[in-house]
A and B are shown apart, each in its own frame.
Chain A
Amino acid sequence: MRSCLPDYELVAPANLREALALMAGEPGAWKPFAGGTDLMVLLEAGKLPHKRFLSLWHLRELKGIEVSPTAVTLGALTTYTEVLRHPVLQQEFPCLCQGARETGGVATQNRGTLGGNIANASPAADSPPALLVYDAELELVSATGSRWVPYRGFHSSYKQMDLRPNELIARIRLPRVGRPRRHYYRKVGTRKAQAISKVVFAGVAEVEGGVVRDVRIALGSVAPTVLRCAKTEAVLRGHPTVESTVAAAQAALAGEIAPIDDFRSTAKYRRRVSLNLLAVFLQSCLGTVEQGPGPEPWYGA
């Protein structure tokens, strides 16, 4: 333990109202503390600058998954385990479930929350790309009220987001789309389980007669924030998924991402893999994934 515990405070407000009142009283003084799977790691490493925390874990107002005809709404405290066990999410939002299944191990899935994953604002986080392609909206609450914002655009730059010091993330809303869609999610970590992503790719598309009617693509670990790839989507929308479209989309994606070298991976690797995953996603839209030679065999067979 590289932190001096006596310096830290953690309080447990009785309900959401009390929590928000505390935050309103001293804006910025109290930092939310949900499952602690990010914060406790920093505490152990002696890298937790903030000293006063507000435990949310027991706040019922921030829990639960609600299904309405138009949307699925998840409390910010929804854990990965709750996500991946939920039948409607499995059916309609499989990328989110797969992301949850591939987050940490069982113990992390039992404690880590979606709200924490979003607010931790890591560009390598695994659920944000799924939330982005499902057009998630966030409810941000404070003592003075609540506002809904699209998740897209929430992260403005590295670790920066549209969250005021007196606000909490309360809920996450995923609009339901009645139409059939193709979903593709792939996490590329350093090993098969319990790994930090080097690239995460999420894509959903509506394809009709070989033509992309609508598409959403988001990636993690390839830019200072998780990234919704609007330019790539624009190249694809309304086009058939033929080879020339794939190539154009890859070119657009290459221009949109900005991966870096760090001690987990290289920019080159992240770029190459992102483009490969895009190609396979587009193939999967045509139902030809997994079989047959690849989109671009990388050596003479």
Chain B
Amino acid sequence: MANRLVGRAVPRKEGGDKVTGKARYIDDLTFPGMLYGATVRSPCARGRIKGIHFEGGIPWDGFTIVTATDIPGKNCIVLLSDDHPGLAQRVVNHPEEPIVLLAHPDKYLLEEARRSVRLEIESLPAVFTIEESLARKEIIWGRDNIFKSIRVEKGNVDEAWAQADFIVEGEYRTGAQEQLYIEPNGMIAVANPQEGVTVWGSMQCPYYVHKALVCLFGLPESKVRVIQVETGGGFGGKEEYPSMIAGHAALLAWKSGKPVKLIYDRAEDMAATTKRHPSRTRHRTAVSKEGKLLAMEIEFVIDGGAYMTLSPVVLSRGTIHAAGPYHCPNIRIQSRAVATNAPPHGAFRGFGAPQSTFALERHLNKVARVVGLSPEELRRRNFIREGQSTATGQVIREKVDMAGLMERAFELSRYYAKTQRFAEENRGRRDKKGIGFACFLHGAGFTGSGEKYLASVVGVEATPAGRARILAASTEIGQGANTILCQIAAEALGLEYDQIEMASPDTGVVPNSGPTVASRTCMIIGKLVESACLAVKQTLVGSGLLKPDYSPEEFFRACAAYTQKCGPLKAFSQYQPPPEIHWDEEKYRGDAYSAYAWAVYVAEVTVDSLTYEVHVDDFVAVQEVGKVINPVLGGGQIEGGVAQAIGYALFENVVWQEGRMVNSQMTNYIIPTAADVPRIRTYFDEVPYAHGPAGAKGLGELPMDGTAPAIVNAIEDALGIGLDQIPVLPEHLVELLEVSRV
């Protein structure tokens, strides 16, 4: 059946509001009698709180002051565990940990007051690196500083070493990365014992915030309401931390009896909220002289910061992606998320996969060199095929053609011609050019049984105004969720795109369709929208009000007739895992994801020999993501992700001092500008996926995974030296080149 709407570049639902300035973000809202809130934070990484002093000629009587003792429920921001306090009470475990909250109608006076709270803290020895944490220099969390360990075993690694012609080892590191959504975090809360707690804010996951508030206030679920307003970017950065901010705004509102607005400025947002987990990956690989991977032993460690938050889940995705889109009979992956005294690291597009993919795609270049094959030939000999199994033993049942994607990417980038030409020309040229690529995959949806436990629900209803409305807690954060879900619904219902609307993501109105993360919105939520639509249609046809082939007018007439006869017309659909999916959480074996996106990215770079700066000159992104619902939005996701990952590879350096980010200004934390990105050329290969809506899978996180290794492989091609760490700064290159010159 030909698609009418799926696959078309319909304009973004809320596009008109965004280009005219009418879209309302959290800081654009004000409530009568509203106070402003501020957070007083720990100046040190680890210590005991000895006293809180309110000083400096401030009229403190006029302030609402909240400390841990004011929390009506449990002092924690629940996620996976309850180790993370909403406000530190006796001890602090990282710089910028919140301790005191203040609110006042005058924001200038509020700022004076914030600076006049003196915290008396007796500092304790702290842990700042993965190595210090693993060595248990201090025990700062649990019994051993370890949030989570995972072990994946496939085949028998120990027996494989003896058969190897080569054993190749390597160690790779990735740094922290700030999401740097352009809209800083913010919330407004109205809260009192009679009506309960309501918060409006910038967020990805209304039901995460809901759960956290229920616990923090000890209220029944029905007394807490969370409403997402227009959100200026998230990238994972508004997945878990908004629960903290919502809790703070609500505590101030609860105590003052007034609405409270709590907006972070850029410096606070950068220093205090989550970033991508820094990582260290060690590879030991057994290869035959034909270049067949015989065994892979991978040790993957991520730095989780001071509290658990989502680290186990990030670790899980990073672990499962650590062996890439390759087939190897024997694999052992040992991974750990460890504690340090830095603000908790958290979700960021890719969620662990960019870290382990960087390591693997760098390491395979090294393996190729040792074996004496080109990097592409080594990969070609090991690509996973239909019927073969991944590290967790998941047998790939979809059609997958990594070699084909690679050839397409090479053609589009003229890879072969360029490798040759650059090698020749570099000899007589000061600035060196190089070309490199990376091959990778990204699982869509939650890992393992995650989706089964989430059991997401989506509804579709007919509105009195003759529209169909989607009820879901999935948020629009710029990625185009509103638009594609409406496209899917319009397609399924046989209606026009503008006859579909999205209900506002308000936990008082929409069911829990789970968090907006993990590239799950299109594939999982989209499928639920599709089935809820079909249920509505069936109801109407079944009740005899609608003929199976109808016009939109007939549809809405039938809706009206139904509503009159039987009351509101709504249908809900709940997630059911595809039949053949099995996952063993204990042993980490089975079908880790129901579907994967597959990709090959090629980067071309120039290294300036005077300044050691790397510039990306051309970028080709080829991927298979199932059906692309909206090519403009899909392309935009890839381009945006590639640009972010260019930053990850070349610019974005979080400078740490005793667990604190010291370059927490946009001037000093460098992301790519319009002058720094190459032309990003995006190509989709579309193999419809049977269990996705109209055949779609997920693509939002994918571009983050393979871009950095493609760029670093290109730098290696240009300079002839291998780099095992990102970001690759000119300051690092100067050191390496001086060493290699000796």
Contact = CB atoms under 8 A, between A and B. Distances in A.
Asked if A and B bind, the verdict is: yes
Interface of A: 1-6, 41, 44-46, 105, 186, 188, 190-196, 198-199, 263-266, 268-269, 272-273, 276-277, 280, 290, 292-294, 297-299, 301
Contact of B730 (A1, A5, A44, A269): A269
Contact of A191 (B426, B609, B675, B719): B675
B111 A193 contact: no
B655 A269 contact: no
A188 B741 contact: no
Interface of B: 107-109, 111-112, 115, 265, 267, 426-430, 609-613, 615, 651, 655, 662-663, 665, 667-668, 670, 672-676, 719-721, 730-731, 734-735, 737-738, 740-741
Contacts of A194: 673
A4 B115 CA distance: 11
Contact of A265 (B426, B673, B731): B731
A192 B612 contact: no
Given A273-B730, A298-B741, 6 more contacts: A46-B115, A191-B651, A269-B734, A292-B428, A293-B428, A297-B430
A223 to B, nearest CB: 18
A269 B609 contact: no
A105 B667 CA distance: 12
A299 B670 contact: no
A5 B108 CA distance: 7
Given A4-B111, A276-B611, A294-B609, A45 B741 contact: no
Nearest to B670: A190
B668 A263 contact: yes
A134 B610 CA distance: 24
A2 B741 CA distance: 49
A299 B740 contact: yes
B267 A45 contact: yes
A192 B608 CA distance: 12
A191 B720 CA distance: 24
A33 to B, nearest CB: 19
Given A1-B107, A191-B673, A263-B668, A280 B267 contact: no
A45 B664 CA distance: 11
7 interchain residue pairs of minimum CB distance = A294-B430, A193-B675, A192-B675, A276-B610, A263-B655, A301-B427, A269-B731
Q: Which of B107, B426, B429 has the most CB of A within 10 A?
A: B429
Nearest to B429: A293
Nearest to A264: B668
Contact of A2 (B111, B721, B731): B111
A184 to B, nearest CB: 12
22 contacts: A2-B267, A3-B111, A45-B267, A186-B610, A186-B611, A191-B651, A191-B670, A191-B675, A195-B670, A196-B668, A268-B731, A268-B735, A269-B734, A273-B612, A273-B730, A273-B734, A276-B610, A280-B610, A294-B609, A298-B609, A299-B720, A301-B427
Contact of B734 (A1, A272, A292): A272
A54 B515 CA distance: 52
A191 B671 CA distance: 8
A280 B429 CA distance: 14
A4 B734 CA distance: 44
B676 A193 contact: yes
A190 B651 contact: yes
A6 B112 CA distance: 11
Contacts, number: 102
Contacts of B651: 190-191
Looking at B427, B719, B730, which has the most chain A CB atoms within 10 Å of its CB?
A: B730
Contacts of A44: 265
Contacts of A190: 651, 670
Looking at chain B's contact residues, the main secondary structure is: loop
Nearest to B266: A44
B180 to A, nearest CB: 14
A180 to B, nearest CB: 25
Given A2-B111, A46-B111, A299-B741, A188 B611 contact: yes
B667 A196 contact: yes
B670 A269 contact: no
A199 B612 CA distance: 12
Contacts of B426: 301
Contacts of A195: 670
Nearest to A265: B731
Contacts of A277: 610-611
A105 B612 CA distance: 23
Nearest to A272: B734
B719 A299 contact: yes
B674 A293 contact: no
A1 B263 CA distance: 11
B737 A298 contact: yes
Contact of A4 (B109, B611, B670, B676): B109
B430 A192 contact: no
Contacts of A192: 615, 673, 675-676
B611 A263 contact: no
Nearest to A280: B610
B612 A269 contact: yes
A189 B672 CA distance: 12
Contacts of A290: 430
A256 to B, nearest CB: 19
Contacts of A269: 612, 730-731, 734
Most buried by B among A45, A263, A294, A299: A299
A273 B610 contact: yes
Nearest to A41: B667
Contacts of A188: 611, 613
Contacts of B668: 196, 263-264
A120 B553 CA distance: 68
A263 B674 CA distance: 24
Contacts of A263: 655, 662-663, 668
A263 B654 CA distance: 10
B731 A1 contact: no
A228 B626 CA distance: 61
B134 to A, nearest CB: 26
Contacts of B673: 105, 191-194
Contact of A193 (B674, B721, B734): B674
Nearest to A289: B430
A299 B737 contact: yes
Contacts of A299: 719-721, 737, 740-741
Contacts of A272: 612, 734, 738
Nearest to A190: B670
Given A188-B611, A273-B611, A266 B731 contact: yes
Contacts of A6: 108
B647 to A, nearest CB: 9
The residue in B108, B615, B674 that gathers the most chain A C-beta atoms within 10 A of its C-beta is B108
Contacts of B721: 299
A297 B610 CA distance: 10
Contacts of B674: 193
Contacts of B670: 190-191, 195
Contacts of A292: 428, 430
Contacts of A3: 108, 111
A41 B667 CA distance: 10
Contacts of B720: 299
A117 to B, nearest CB: 16
A264 B655 CA distance: 9
A102 to B, nearest CB: 10
A277 B612 CA distance: 12
B347 to A, nearest CB: 26
Nearest to B267: A45
A10 to B, nearest CB: 15
A192 B112 CA distance: 38
A191 B108 contact: no
A188 B108 CA distance: 38
A250 to B, nearest CB: 13
A196 B663 CA distance: 13
A5 B107 CA distance: 10
B111 A1 contact: yes
A164 B734 CA distance: 42
A82 to B, nearest CB: 22
